[in-house]
Chain A
Amino acid sequence: GAVVSQHPSRVICKSGTSVKIECRSLDFQATTMFWYRQFPKQSLMLMATSNEGSKATYEQGVEKDKFLINHASLTLSTLTVTSAHPEDSSFYICSTGQGGYEQFFGPGTRLTVL
């Protein structure tokens, strides 16, 4: 199956700073990637669909100015959490929807905002 990586795996930042999380597809070209957020012991919540070369599509209730998504190439999508606050602390996971029905997930990024 497809291989998806995320960087960093873990990040701690101060409140008010911005954090960028990278999601890469290592062995294929991904025109679409998904970004999820997972709170402890809760489900994955889809935040947005990242589309290569065009604007991301955000789910209802997700602030697009807060969570900036850039999908500038077929192998890289980035999620930037701007002016992060403690309530943004979470586990962020990306996946790709290429290759038919199956989604391939990255290992996730643990964000802690102090």
Chain B
Amino acid sequence: AQRVTQPEKLLSVFKGAPVELKCNYSYSGSPELFWYVQYSRQRLQLLLRHISRESIKGFTADLNKGETSFHLKKPFAQEEDSAMYYCALKTGGGNKLTFGTGTQLKVEL
């Protein structure tokens, strides 16, 4: 069965410090992975997907099939990055998603 693991419930960093939010997955098929973000009092929204290989708001994530990981990184954290981040794995047909438990990122001044 598919599974997404985010080992850290809370990650606290200082402004300007590098950020890495960890995500590991378990899936027998060809994975398609996403990072979704939820800012305070806002709805969940897509941050980035591995296929596009984009940098969004300074964040990047590389799919490592050997390590079955899709860690989210940013070289210099900003205060506005404080939010809840969810790693998600697309499985089956359609757009069905399996979510990790989420990591609360707190960027301190």
Contacts and interface: CB of A to CB of B under 8 A. Distances in A.
Interface of A: 1, 32, 34, 41-46, 49, 93, 95, 97, 101-108
Contact of A46 (B43, B44, B96): B96
Interface stretch (B21-29, B58-66, B75-83, B99-107): B99-107
Contact of A32 (B49, B51, B95, B101): B95
A49 B100 contact: no
Interface string B85-103: 0100010001111111110
Contacts of A95: 44
Contact of A103 (B9, B32, B51, B97): B97
A93 B86 CA distance: 15
B46 A46 contact: no
Interface centre among A34, A46, A103, A108 (most CB of B within 10 A): A103
Nearest to B87: A43
A101 B32 contact: yes
7 contacts: A42-B101, A43-B86, A97-B94, A97-B95, A101-B32, A106-B43, A108-B43
A107 B45 CA distance: 10
Interface residues on B, range: 20 to 34
A106 B51 CA distance: 24
A33 B54 CA distance: 27
Given A44-B86, A101-B49, A107 B43 contact: yes
A79 B97 CA distance: 19
B66 to A, nearest CB: 24
Nearest to A102: B46
A43 B43 contact: no
B97 A105 contact: no
A44 B90 contact: no
Given A95-B44, A103-B46, A107-B43, 12 more contacts: A32-B94, A34-B95, A43-B99, A44-B44, A44-B86, A46-B96, A49-B96, A93-B44, A101-B32, A101-B51, A102-B49, A105-B43
Contact of A105 (B32, B44, B90, B100): B44
Contacts of A105: 43-45
